[in-house]
Structure 1
């Protein structure tokens, strides 16, 4: 396989993947709408992500909800890496139609063409997400491994943010493996589950090998610093750089698995190049849970900027409490091992941020939108 289509290839993960594949001799086509939310205004002039791949890829500026753009993009391709999607847990809860249209309908158009149009595609990699799990996997002394449902708003109103399970004592968090229960708690998570299942179901019927990667929280140099809807490291960094305080949801003990961009690119290329990946679903993370207060304090320390930190007790509907990846499968089948730990990754990320123009902080505007819709309490 030499000709690779990356949808959303001007985005954070897509552009980094494109550059690494080009260095390995692949010819890359990118289908991307250059969304203002990610790339800012006048993206073809001012977007660092777009400019990093400009003149190095064949760019089709288009939309995955447009069948004509898909037809142009698929022609002559050997494989597709499908990253194009609306992202953002909170935003998905009140922009439901947009998320369903882009994420689900866009993927449906791709699959419809792969089934019904003559093409040379041999493999499709779909960017899934840890969000499809909803709450992660836990151990109960009384019941063994359990998968708690969404937390109760009445409990969280009383500042009780821990997950619970019927007839169990307090739960112990454990790593979430690929066989864990799928029960997303946001519209975004539902759309990623749907994307994954459609690709894994339809592609084999026409002799195309599918691979799904359930990415954890991806971060690193190059990610958007102006998008207030997703990317906690970027959001906090923009607040710090603007001299604004950081308001942390819940009690600050909620945790995520933060995985560095280079490791995500390496895992994705393993999926593209290795036959062992065909037909499989893999977690991509570090296997380490880091709580939000630690994230904020680490950023403040690295920037050396005194920043007030407030734990608000507020919460967003659709957010989960904890989730971190079990990497046993991807280690065994693909030989993947994350190389960049959180401390080193944050150092590289903050050094890059220090070279960037300070972006306007739109975070409070995004919170106001959620409050208005009843999604932030």
Structure 2
């Protein structure tokens, strides 16, 4: 497929990298982005990192007039525009629902009316899974687990089956049923399902990509609700201890934004007869303490020890990392950026950055609203 591609949220972290990837492969790129102050800073204009060949339209995805303008002459759409963050979604409920759910509805109505969009790729999230998939010693799988409040208050973070046997986390496939534990997760699932329903009805091919923990250059360092690595880097750059919920042994899948951009392009180019959903991650797991140790070393901040809060945050899960076999087989996706190389690239970029540390004020919102549980001795 060639032609002009629209990226909603195209001036942001993932969107700008995707724009580079598409331009490199001969596409024309248009971005629709409202340049939200929480991400871009107050009074922000066109980001310096955004490729000069990108046509930028400043506008809100909830504004039908702006969306209609952005869709004019477009062949395919990447829908990345969204409010991001589990914790913030639990108290800014209307904003997350408005931007993520209503914004997607406005875009889908416009796509249906134009009738000439050849493909829609929508950014979904690993958060829709809730807890990842687990296995017991007999090989039985567990897909719909939650941790009781009493367990969390006792500082017992791991999951067990009905006989109190500890369970082992294993890669989570797309077949695992959603378990929505935050407003953010609900809104991302809504974006995904709305897109697929409308796409099927109007015969517009849809691909939903469930991103895991994306990291890399251009992530908003002063946004305390952005990705974990950017938040940790912001604390290190301000010579402060990164704060960790629970005990830091929770496992995640960290994937380079450059690999994510490649996956997006592959999703655009794949032949399909029906809607498809893919996990996009690295295919490996790592615990948060190890992430902090490696990041601290590449930044020369080994002397700064993390603050382990032993606090549970509403909406958080214990372990979740990706099974990416479907993306490998169908999209031809193969992660190429190792975590070590990705961290070095991030560290080089961070040398020229200024991070305003807003983590304390963000964290103070949660207990004030009763959205945390602290380990009781």
Which residue of 2 is the match for residue 249 of structure 1? 245
1:111 aligns with 2:112: no
Moved more, 173-182 or 57-66: 57-66
Alignment RMSD (CA, Å): 1.5
Which residue of 2 is the match for residue 11 of structure 1? 12
Moved more, 148-157 or 106-115: 148-157
1:156 aligns with 2:157: no
Alpha-carbon displacement from aligned partner over 1:311-358 (angstroms, at most 9, x marks no partner): 2201211011111100111111111110112121111111211222x3
Distance in 1 of aligned mates of 2:129 and 2:162: 19
SS at match of 1:52: coil
Is the contact made by 1:247 and 1:312 (CA closer than 8 Å) also made in structure 2?
yes
Which of 274, 277, 287 matches 2:283? 287
Which residue of 2 is the match for residue 239 of structure 1? 235
Is the contact made by 2:100 and 2:191 (CA closer than 8 Å) also made in structure 1?
yes
Gaps of 5+ in 1: none
Instruction: Give the TM-score normalised by structure 2.
Output: 0.95
Which of 188, 192, 197 matches 2:188? 192
Cα offset, 1:151, TM superposition: 1.7
| Regions of 4+ moved over 6 Å | none
SS at match of 1:162: coil
Distance in 2 of aligned mates of 1:148 and 1:20: 37
Is the contact made by 2:30 and 2:54 (CA closer than 8 Å) also made in structure 1?
yes
Gaps of 5+ in 2: none
Is the contact made by 1:32 and 1:63 (CA closer than 8 Å) also made in structure 2?
yes
Q: How does 1:163-312 map to 2 (within 5 A)?
A: 163-167=159-163, 169-276=165-272, 279-305=275-301, 306-312=303-309
Q: Between Structure 1 and Structure 2, how many residues are aligned?
A: 371
Instruction: Give the TM-score normalised by structure 1.
Output: 0.95
Q: How does 1:327-346 map to 2 (within 5 A)?
A: 327-346=324-343
Q: 1:261 to 1:363 in 2, by over 3 A?
A: same
1:51 aligns with 2:48: yes
Which of 81, 85, 88 matches 2:85? 88
Moved more, 162-171 or 208-217: 162-171
Cα offset, 1:20, TM superposition: 1.7
Which residue of 2 is the match for residue 326 of structure 1? 323
SS at match of 2:236: helix
